[in-house]
């Protein structure tokens, strides 16, 4: 059983809708179980600067519906150094924090893994990223909201694309993961998705053209994942302009709009479940695991498995998109 009395919470790296719902859940579940809670501001930076505040239940009132994160987020170079992490550890000791809940993506959980290796402090991760690129969890906090934001935008672009009979390349986020692009394409009825996972296998533009993607249509939408591996939407638009000048091509880069907005019901429920489970995990004496959800069950995923363990794209989804876009 755990001897933890006070937990610290932070949000780090790229923000994602639903982070506030997670902060609320962690805080309230901790208080419910008799633990003290401290909110750490600006990710790992707050551990270095000491920007920390005790959280009571009221501190997380009225935030479940808000996008962004009330704890703010930041990228912190100093935490990447052993000296920076030593300062962070000293801050935790000074504040009496004896377990840490980190809400963030791949990078943030990597930081937590390294920190937990160096210092004897239980760290629990919650997958907070719109990219859905953490292994061992079916979905991540923020992914569903971002997907719905993409749909809203693509539906609108479809109207103008059809009126002008244009080919649109729409760039979505995802870093090196094609989940947003592929599922965004299926859900919006796009003609194709260009994703990093297949960038080395085939020339995805040649595939599109070969498949006659514009034979019977008066508009076409191709969703492109923003990634160095794909080259992004501009790269494909330039190629089409040069290689297939008969097409009237436009590009829309959705950008940071995908990170904002009120979280969907799915993300709020996910964040609430994962947040509550993070406290169960601490009380059970778990350490250095990410809380995930698989087949609707809470799972504990060791950091080493969750991070940098390429989460596979289902071939079935690729086939569904290809078949339904004829
Ligand atoms: P995300 O969590 O969204 O993937 P980043 O990759 O930017 O975001 O990482 C967020 C923060 O996590 C970094 O600014 C840094 O403070 C910390 N971090 C990332 N990688 C490491 C690492 N290898 N060692 C220590 N800290 C790290």
Q: What is the pLDDT of residues 265-297, one digit of tens each?
A: 999 999 999 999 999 999 999 999 999 999 999
- Residue range 200-252, pLDDT digits in tens: 667 777 777 777 655 556 678 999 999 888 889 999 999 989 988 988 999 99
pLDDT the model gives residue 201: 67
- The pLDDT of 23-41, averaged and rounded, is 98
From the CB of residue 86, how many other CB atoms can be counted at a distance below 10 Å? 13
- Cα 144 to Cα 128, 138, 203, 261, 271: the distances in Å are 11, 11, 29, 11, 11
Give the chain's mean pLDDT.
94
Q: What's the pLDDT score for residue 325?
A: 84
Distances, alpha carbon 257 to alpha carbons 78, 174, 213, 277, in Å: 29, 13, 28, 30
pLDDT of residue 246: 86
> Going by DSSP bridges, is the β-strand pair 6-11/99-104 parallel, antiparallel, or unpaired?
parallel
What domains lie within the chain, and their CATH numbers?
6-142+263-308 (3.40.50.450), 144-259 (3.40.50.460)
Contact 95, 52 (CB under 8 A): yes
Could you list the active site residues?
131
Q: Rounded CA gap, 154 and 252, in Å? A: 10
Determine the average pLDDT of the residues in 8-15. Answer: 97
Q: What is the mean pLDDT of residues 2-18?
A: 96
Rounded to two decimals, the pTM is 0.96
Q: Retrieve residue 319's tokens.
A: 């086939």
Rounded distance from Cα 312 to ligand 1 centre (Å)? 22
Query: Nearest C-alpha to atom 22 of ligand 1 is from which residue?
Result: 111
59-95 residue pLDDT tens: 999 999 999 999 999 999 999 999 999 999 999 999 9
Q: Ligand 1: does its nearest atom lie under 6 Å from the Cβ of 311?
A: no
78 C-beta closer than 6 A to ligand 1: no
* CA of 148 relative to ligand 1 center, distance in Å: 26
Residue 46 to residues 60, 70, 75, 119, Cα–Cα distance (Å): 18, 13, 11, 18
For ligand 1, atom 20, the nearest C-alpha belongs to 107
Question: Which pLDDT does position 216 carry in this prediction?
Answer: 58
322 lines ligand 1 (CB under 6 A): no
Residues 6+ apart with CB under 8 A from 56: 31, 37
Determine if ligand 1 sits within 6 Å of the CB of residue 75.
yes
The pLDDT of residue 10 is 98
- Torsion angle (degrees, nearest 10) of CA 38, 43, 44, 48: -70
């Amino acid at each position: 059983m755990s001897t933890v009395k006070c937990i610290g919470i932070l949000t780090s790296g790229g923000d994602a809708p639903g982070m506030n719902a997670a902060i609320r859940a962690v805080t309230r579940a901790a208080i419910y179980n008799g633990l003290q809670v401290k909110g750490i501001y600006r990710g790992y930076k707050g551990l270095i600067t000491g920007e920390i505040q005790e959280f009571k239940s009221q501190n997380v009132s009225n935030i479940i519906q808000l996008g962004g994160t009330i704890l703010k987020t930041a990228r912190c170079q100093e935490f990447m150094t052993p000296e920076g992490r030593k300062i962070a550890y000293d801050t935790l000791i000074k504040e009496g924090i004896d377990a840490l809940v980190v809400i963030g993506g791949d990078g943030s959980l990597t930081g937590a893994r390294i920190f937990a290796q160096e210092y004897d402090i239980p760290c629990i991760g919650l997958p907070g990223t719109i990219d859905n690129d953490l292994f061992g969890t079916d979905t991540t906090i923020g992914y569903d909201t971002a997907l719905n934001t993409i749909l809203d935008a693509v539906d609108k672009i479809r109207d103008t694309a059809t009126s002008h009979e244009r080919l649109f390349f729409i760039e979505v986020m995802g870093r090196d993961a094609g989940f947003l692009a592929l599922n965004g394409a299926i859900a919006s009825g796009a003609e194709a998705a260009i994703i990093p996972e297949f960038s080395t296998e085939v020339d995805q533009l040649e595939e599109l053209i070969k498949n006659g993607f514009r034979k019977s249509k008066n508009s076409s939408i191709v969703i492109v994942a923003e990634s160095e591996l794909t080259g992004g939407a501009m790269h494909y638009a330039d190629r089409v302009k040069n290689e297939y000048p008969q097409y009237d091509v436009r590009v829309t880069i959705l950008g940071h709009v995908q990170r904002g907005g009120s979280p969907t019901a799915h993300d709020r429920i996910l964040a609430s479940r994962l947040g509550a489970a993070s406290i169960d995990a601490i009380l059970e004496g778990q350490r250095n695991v990410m809380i995930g959800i698989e087949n609707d069950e809470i799972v504990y995923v060791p950091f080493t498995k969750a991070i940098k363990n390429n989460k596979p794209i289902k071939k079935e989804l690729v086939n569904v998109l290809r078949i339904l876009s004829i």
